[in-house]
Amino acid sequence: MIVGIDLGTTNSLIAYFSEEGPRIIPNRLGKNLTPSVVSVDSEGKVYVGESARERMSLYPDSVAQTFKRSMGTERDYVLSGRHFRPEELSSMVLRALKEDAEAFLGEEVTEAVISVPAYFDDKRRKATKRAGELAGLKVERMISEPTAAAVAYGLYDKTQDTRFLVFDLGGGTFDVSILELYHNILEVRAVAGDNYLGGEDFTEVMAKLFLQKRGLQLQGMNGKEQARLYRQAEKAKCAIDEQGEVAMSFLYHEQMLEETITAKEYGDACEELLMKIREPVKKSLSDAGLKLGDIDEVLLIGGATRLSIVRDFLIRLFRKFPDTRLNPDETVALGAAVQAAMKERREEVREVILTDVCSFTLGTEVVVEYEEGKYEQGRFCPIIERNTVIPASHTERLFTVRDNQDMVRVRVLQGESRFAKNNLFLGELTVGIPKAPKGQESIDVTYTYDVNSLLEVEVTVTSTGVKQKMIIKDQENQMTDEEIRERMEQLAYLKLQPRDYEENRLTLLRAERMYEETLGDRRKMLDHYITAFEAALEKGGHDEIMDARKALNEILEDESQ
């Protein structure tokens, strides 16, 4: 069984293709969204999703979130004394989704199409693939989130040519993609974005605004207090859209602080973020050689596009109302499921050719002669430029710069800087050449880039025809199959909580968190119901546990109003 997965910064989803079309698979709590949060306790038990998010307020040092932003980096997360890389944390989220899908479908899930931001570079894409492998999934195909969204909207079924802009503002990443549909070909024309901009940043603005009005500093707070602050800021961010102003309260040093924040205050504070959104839109249009008036449709995806401050800004920017027919949280997962059905060659899905583009320029390091006899080293020579439709193959001829030079080193780089040192190093190979006066010997460097982000580098010595070839697979951070198996075994002792216990565990964690955030008689009442629920769990039967949980949840709902 092949499924489609949206591995998000804030939330993740899994979907499959049914007889009625793509469908989201609910998680063990019956919800479509699984928070991309992981917690590991002192005994090595893993919590994923809502239960992990609840632990953030109680045990902040045991919880990790927004780790998608660090995919492909060497960042180390320490949870309860154990060390994890971003892709290992992502693999735990994927493993939970895989288990939920298998329980729902009643069959084994062996393969997945995973979506990635269009602006993810080579390292981030490879790290995402490794996360899938560590979760026990075969990942032969990744799909860019905007392309998945276009597929979900059914644009590949349109009867007329269409140009559309996909605006994807998720919890932690931002993409703008321009796609064009003609006949049965869905082609990405240009992409731009920011891997460090998303809904989490709008939450942070709300938190900072609250602190500013109270004259407080984040640095003076412990981990629990920071977690409480950001939880309340998230609620206030979502509520201010409907109310025009919001009263945000926060328990600090056993004192309940409250401030009213108006929509205008919040809008002014978000102005810098909105300006950051504008630049990738302009860049994508410029790279595609288009103007805003050339765009037929604007699609919104990503949970942060629900914010009225974002939608109002986009209406002013695009001078038209965006298409919001589908749930922005679910669109990408549904499109990934359609892509999975295409991969299975399901009869229900009309085959469509999906083309993508190279998000970043690929090139090599060269020496440049800027005056006769004067050379500058460390310059970047583009070979496949950004937003080139892939698969693509380009060749650049390079000449020797020294007399009797007998070797050329080809450093493979990815990025946009004129200087090699500022771009991402992907690998290198060295070729021998016949000795000759400078400029008389040359090599042809050919880059071939495919839709799965595999780059083949071929170097041919033009005078002898000798060739050398390599496949770039992120050498600096690549795990062999054996290393992946070993790490899977090492992570095996970290057991996900049994599905049947999840709702009980979540209720207790939520109750503990609210107990810490309340005072006085409300705290005493919560303690009574928590104690009753714990007693039922310890000795009660199924019906008694259900009744005690229902009673506690009713109190929790009242307290959260």
The answer to whether 425 touches 443, Cβ cutoff 8 Å, is no
Q: How far is the C-alpha of 332 from the C-alpha of 22, rounded, in Å?
A: 11
CB burial class (10 A; 0-12, 13-18, 19+) of residue 503? middle
Which H or E run includes 523?
helix 520-539
Strand spans (E) along 195-349: 245-252, 255-262, 297-301
Q: How far is the C-alpha of 28 from the C-alpha of 100, rounded, in Å?
A: 6
Tell whether the torsion through CA atoms of 331, 90, 9 and 235 is positive or negative: positive
User: Does residue 323 carry a catalytic annotation?
Assistant: no
- Residue among 50, 88, 145, 201 flagged as catalytic: 145
Contact partners, residue 553, CB within 8 Å, separation at least 6: 507
Q: How far is the C-alpha of 69 from the C-alpha of 65, rounded, in Å?
A: 9
Q: How far is the C-alpha of 137 from the C-alpha of 534, rounded, in Å?
A: 37
The answer to whether 228 touches 57, Cβ cutoff 8 Å, is yes
- Residue among 54, 121, 168, 180 flagged as catalytic: 168
Alpha-carbon radius of gyration of the chain: 26
- Residue among 6, 180, 225, 502 flagged as catalytic: 6
- Residue among 68, 98, 123, 237 flagged as catalytic: 68
Q: How far is CA 271 from CA 268, 313, 474, in A?
A: 5, 10, 37
Residue 285's CB: how many other CB atoms inside 10 A?
20
CA 442 to chain centre: 42
Side chain identity at residue 279, one-letter code: E
Order of strands across the sheet that contains 362-371: 374-384, 362-371, 407-414, 424-432
Give the DSSP letter string of 213-248: HHT--GGGS-HHHHHHHHHHHHHHHHHHHHHSEEEE
User: Does residue 6 carry a catalytic annotation?
Assistant: yes
Q: What is the DSSP letter of 359?
A: S
The answer to whether 148 touches 177, Cβ cutoff 8 Å, is no
What is the token pair recorded at 119? 């602006």
CA 337 to chain centre: 17
Q: How far is the C-alpha of 419 from the C-alpha of 368, rounded, in Å?
A: 11
User: Does residue 264 carry a catalytic annotation?
Assistant: no
The answer to whether 125 touches 87, Cβ cutoff 8 Å, is no
The structure tokens 């005493």 sit at 524
HSE-CB for 268 with a 13 A CA cutoff: 5
User: Does residue 68 carry a catalytic annotation?
Assistant: yes
User: Which residue, among 122, 108, 99, has the nearest Cα to 358 in the 3D structure?
Assistant: 122
CA distance between the termini of the chain: 42
Reported residue count of the chain is 561
Tell whether the torsion through CA atoms of 520, 525, 529 and 534 is positive or negative: positive
Q: Give the active site residues.
A: 6, 68, 145, 168
